[in-house]
Amino acid sequence: MQKFVVHFRRRFIPDEELIQDLKRVAKKLKKNCVSRVEYDEHGRFSSDTPFDRFGSWHKALEAAGLQICCNWRIPDEELLKNIQDCWLKLGRQPNCHEMKRPFSRYGANTYIARFGSWRQTLERFVQFLRKGKLKKSVKVITHRTSRIASARMRLAVMQRDNFRCRLCGRSPSQNPGISLQVDHIRPWSEGGETVLDNLQTLCSACNAGKSNSQI
């Protein structure tokens, strides 16, 4: 009986082609991270191909400039050390939206999957600081109030300041086009609270200039 044996010649796939396909899948899924399961479903090749080529799935994602997906093998201390590095780069507490490449090695989804939420991540970060497992080179700030002033409080601040910018003195009633904003006197990032005594009325131009001078 005749046997039919088919021999397939395996085509060498350049690194750049693998990288572009990873990016394509990420764009298609509208995500910054692609899991192996997702790539097997939407990619042109098996996930084994970029895995073997780059040495690991994480290295493949890094080569494509994508975020590292949740990996339970990453030690907690490494994840929290990354938060410390980001904190020092910014000079303030990072928010979850800033935790992405190239600024952060790991995306916010990695932290949320590991610790439950971004708030719980920061609580764990504080615990590590207190235990001395990380360098105490960042100042952990806790707040009693919300960062955003309520509409009622904003109105109270503007009424107190006679609806005038406390820096330039301009008012919408006398200077059409002037937009007033409520600003923290002591910055929120430095521990300032959202209370009447720490709020002031500024026009948008003065507020922007104040922010630029603090960068």
Domains of the chain: which residue ranges? 15-63, 76-130, 151-213
How far is 54 from 36, CA to CA, in rounded Å? 14
Residue with tokens 């920061």: 122
pLDDT tens digits for range 70-104: 555 678 888 898 898 888 888 788 888 888 877 88
| pLDDT mean over 159-170 | 93
- Name the band, by pLDDT with cuts 50, 70 and 90, for residue 36: confident
Q: Report how far apart, in Å, the C-alpha atoms of 215 and of each of 38, 91, 187, 189, 211 are.
A: 40, 10, 12, 12, 7
Q: What average pLDDT does the chain have?
A: 82
Comparing 105 with 184, which gets the higher pLDDT? 184
Give the pLDDT score at 133.
65
75: amino acid identity, one letter: P
Q: Is the pLDDT of residue 166 over 70?
A: yes
Residues 50/22, Cβ–Cβ less than 8 Å: yes
Lowest pLDDT segment from 4-8, 67-71, 78-82: 4-8
Q: Which two tokens stand for residue 178?
A: 């002037």
| CA 124 – CA 95 distance, rounded (Å) | 15
What span, in angstroms and rounded, lies between the C-alpha atoms of 158 and 172?
Answer: 12
Q: Which of 13-17, 34-38, 66-70 has the highest mean pLDDT?
A: 13-17
- Give the whole-angstrom CA distance, residue 165 versus residue 4: 87
Helix (H) or strand (E) holding 200: strand 199-203
pLDDT at 10 over 80: no
For residue 139, name the pLDDT band (cuts at 50, 70, 90). low
Q: What proportion of the chain, given as a percentage, has pLDDT over 90?
A: 24
Residue 7 pLDDT > 60: no
Beta bridge partners of 180: 203
Distance in angstroms (rounded) separating the CA atoms of residues 215 and 212: 5
